[in-house]
Amino acid sequence: MRFFVLGNAERPNVRREAEKLLPWLQQQGEVVVFDLEQKVNLHDHDADVALVLGGDGAILRAARQMGRKQVPVLGINLGKLGFLADVSPSEVREVIPELIAGNFRVTSHLMFDCEAETEEGPRRCLGLNEVVVQSGPPFHMLELELAINGEVASTFHGDGLIVSTPVGSTAHGLSAGGPILGQELRAFVVTPICPHSLTSRTIVESADKQFTIMVSRGTNSYLVVDGQEVWRLPVRSRVTVREAAVSFRLVKVAGRSYYRTLHDKLNWGATPNYRNDHEPPTSS
């Protein structure tokens, strides 16, 4: 089996864990690329699995680094939450032999292409989580127009607008009050950020649609892609989001379902902490 070993060397413990893992991993298969600085053009190389050390941010970086040539990703969690990174460093030596034996499955997930008219000129970016158009200093209210397949769908007044994939639905969009989507759906979620209206609500739409956000009014607005790429947007600029031609591919090992992850990481679906009827109430 051929491996990419990727991650963000600036994050705590990533380089130490990667260098500790490398000699053992070279005994299990071929390490084609070892890159913790995002210096290697991965289009020039082939691998069966990309091992990404870090948190979810490292996986988002790796997905963009792989670009149009996506390799299945196994996330090794060294971050705080690790929603996409299923495996802890202590489990790696158990999981890799299972991968080599073929005891795993690969799930496919929606990615997006984003095109924007920024102050630095036209920009195009591939992403996995979300596109956010948001207010910047001095944080005045924005007026944003949303068009779907060229038809104006709504105008939003508030702090911004999020267009997220199902993978990104548990990130910024969730914090803004958006829904949780099944990760393998082909759909986008559009969620307003602090809308100045009681009628502005999240919508879920098919991924075969094209979404265009125009900054109608706002003294200072920014485009943020996956929480990592940031560009300033002039007034009347447009940001277009559509389904990418490639999909993100995630390695899933036995015993780690999406709903178990929701429960373990986000405490979703947990039973409320009811008082035992046989216990006397505590006095205040």
For the ranges 142-146, 166-170, 214-218, the lowest mean pLDDT is seen at 214-218
Please indicate, yes or no, if residue 279 is contained in any of the structural domains: no
CA dihedral 168, 219, 236, 191 (to 10 degrees): 20
> How far is it, in rounded angstroms, from Cα 183 to Cα 180?
9
Share of the chain above pLDDT 90, in %: 75
| Structural domain for 11, as ranges | 2-103
Catalytic residue among 35, 56, 86, 159: 56
Summarize pLDDT for 41-78 with one digit per residue, the tens: 999 999 999 999 998 999 999 999 999 999 999 999 98
Q: 279 falls in which pLDDT band (50, 70, 90)?
A: low
Q: Is pLDDT at 89 greater than 80 in this prediction?
A: yes
Q: Is pLDDT at 284 greater than 60 in this prediction?
A: no
Q: Is pLDDT at 80 greater than 80 in this prediction?
A: no
pTM, two decimals, is: 0.90
> How far is it, in rounded angstroms, from Cα 101 to Cα 105?
12
Specify the pLDDT at position 195. 93
Q: Which residue has the tokens 């505590």?
A: 282
CA atoms within 13 A on the CB side of 94: 7
Summarize pLDDT for 6-40 with one digit per residue, the tens: 998 888 899 999 999 999 999 999 999 999 999 99
Q: Is pLDDT at 272 greater than 60 in this prediction?
A: yes
Specify the pLDDT at position 258. 81
Q: Is pLDDT at 216 greater than 80 in this prediction?
A: yes
Co-location of 209 and 228 in the same domain: yes
72, 103, 134: which is the final residue of a domain?
103
**68: its two tokens:** 């149009």
* C-alpha separations of 132 from 143, 202, 222, 231, 240 in Å: 14, 14, 8, 11, 11
**Count of structural domains, the chain:** 2
Q: 281 falls in which pLDDT band (50, 70, 90)?
A: low
pLDDT, average across residues 249-278: 78
Please indicate, yes or no, if residue 280 is contained in any of the structural domains: no
Query: If DSSP codes are grouped into helix, strand and coil, which group holds residue 280?
Result: coil
Phi first, then psi: what are they for 170, rounded to 5°?
-100, 15
Co-location of 180 and 122 in the same domain: yes
Please indicate, yes or no, if residue 170 is contained in any of the structural domains: yes
- Average pLDDT of the chain? 91
Decide if 56 is catalytic. Answer: yes
> How far is it, in rounded angstroms, from Cα 272 to Cα 270?
6
> How far is it, in rounded angstroms, from Cα 242 to Cα 91?
37
Please indicate, yes or no, if residue 195 is contained in any of the structural domains: yes
* C-alpha separations of 62 from 45, 158, 235 in Å: 14, 32, 32
Give the CATH number, domain containing residue 132: 2.60.200.30
Co-location of 118 and 18 in the same domain: no
Report which of 6, 3, 102, 98 is spatially closest to residue 49, judged by C-alpha positions: 3
Co-location of 181 and 97 in the same domain: no
Please indicate, yes or no, if residue 14 is contained in any of the structural domains: yes
